[in-house]
Each structure stands twice: as structure tokens, then as C-alpha cells.
Amino acid sequence: MITKIEEFRKKQKITQEELANAVGVTRQTIISLEQGRYNPSLQLAYVITKKLKAKRIEDIFLFD
């Protein structure tokens, strides 16, 4: 899975740690998501999308 978490996070000027705390995961999980190594649950994808102020989950998470 390709994600645009890093891009949206930098637009919002929030760190990995801040995003991790905001969505209730560890920083390591955010790193894995940004690197496309971990496929999140729908619930986590939704929460991250909301936190990064994207309109749709597909704006952040791209299934290849």
C-alpha cells in the first residue's frame, strides 16, 4: 500500500510522534505506515484521514 501520510503530515506541520499520539498508535506504527510496510485497519485509516484533514481515505491510502 502506498500512503501519503508523510505528505499530509508535513502540510499540517505535525510530527510522527504527535500524529501517533493523536490516533492512539506508536510512532513505530506511523513509520511503518509511511513506508508502506503495514496495512492499517479501516478504523485506523479513517482516524488518520480525519486527523490529517483529508476528505477521503483514498486521498491518503492508495491500494496498488
* Binding residues for other proteins (CB under 8 A): 24-26, 28-29, 32, 38, 40-41, 44
DSSP calls for 12-61: HT--HHHHHHHHTS-HHHHHHHHTT-----HHHHHHHHHHTT-SSHHHHE
Quote the CA–CA distance of 58 and 45 in Å, as a whole number.
9
Q: Compare residues 6 and 38 and give the one whose CB is closer to other proteins.
A: 38
Q: Compare residues 4 and 38 and give the one whose CB is closer to other proteins.
A: 38
Minimum CB separation of residue 34 from other proteins in Å reads 13
Minimum CB separation of residue 29 from other proteins in Å reads 5
